[in-house]
Each structure stands twice: as C-alpha cells, then as structure tokens.
Amino acid sequence: MALIACPGCAKEFSDEAAICPHCARPMTGSPDAIAAQSPGREWKIVRLIGGLLMVTGVLAWTGNSTDAGMVFLLGCVIYLGGWLGARWMQRS
Ligand SMILES: [Zn+2]
C-alpha cells in the first residue's frame, strides 16, 4: 500500500481507497492509469528541454559565444521534435 495525493484536494491517502476520505472524490483506476490518460506528457518535457536550450543559446549569444548559435539551433530542433511528437501521439 502506498500514499497517493488526491487530484481534488491534494491531501494524501491510501491508494487502495476507492474514494478520497477528505473530499469524497472517486478514484478511477491506479495512478498509472491516471498518468496514461494524459498522453504527450513526456513530449512536454522534450519541449521544455528544447525551450531551455533556446533560452541558453540566446543568453550565450549576447555573451559573444561562437557555439551559442548551435545551442539555439539544437533547442529549436528539439522543441520542434517535441511538438511534432505530441501531435503524432494525439493522432494515433
Ligand atoms: Zn480529496
């Protein structure tokens, strides 16, 4: 048995409970099933990494770094890959 956080009231209780003892929110399936209901979550992380690389590239660019352009370009490619991946996941 493990403790899970209620999506409704954010309080923790046993994952074996059918409803939240704090706010009576019904629990549908395991946390794994809930996670599976939101596809494209990993693609959001990919886009986040791409976005961070783009920001890093832009910041380094102002510092006259020669590799900054490549970092920015890499960030763009990763972000685009995450965006296309999320679209592809939704279609299938
Ligand atoms: Zn609750």
Contact 20, 27 (CB under 8 A): yes
Q: Is the pTM of this model over 0.85?
A: no
Distance 19 CA to ligand 1 centre (A): 8
The secondary structure of the chain in percent helix, strand, coil, rounded to multiples of 5, reads 55, 10, 35
Closest C-alpha among 31, 29, 7, 30 to residue 20: 7
Distance 22 CA to ligand 1 centre (A): 5
Tell me the pLDDT tens digit for each residue of 21-59. Answer: 999 888 765 555 555 555 667 888 999 999 999 999 888
Tell me the pLDDT tens digit for each residue of 56-83. Answer: 988 887 776 778 888 999 999 999 999 9
Distance 81 CA to ligand 1 centre (A): 37
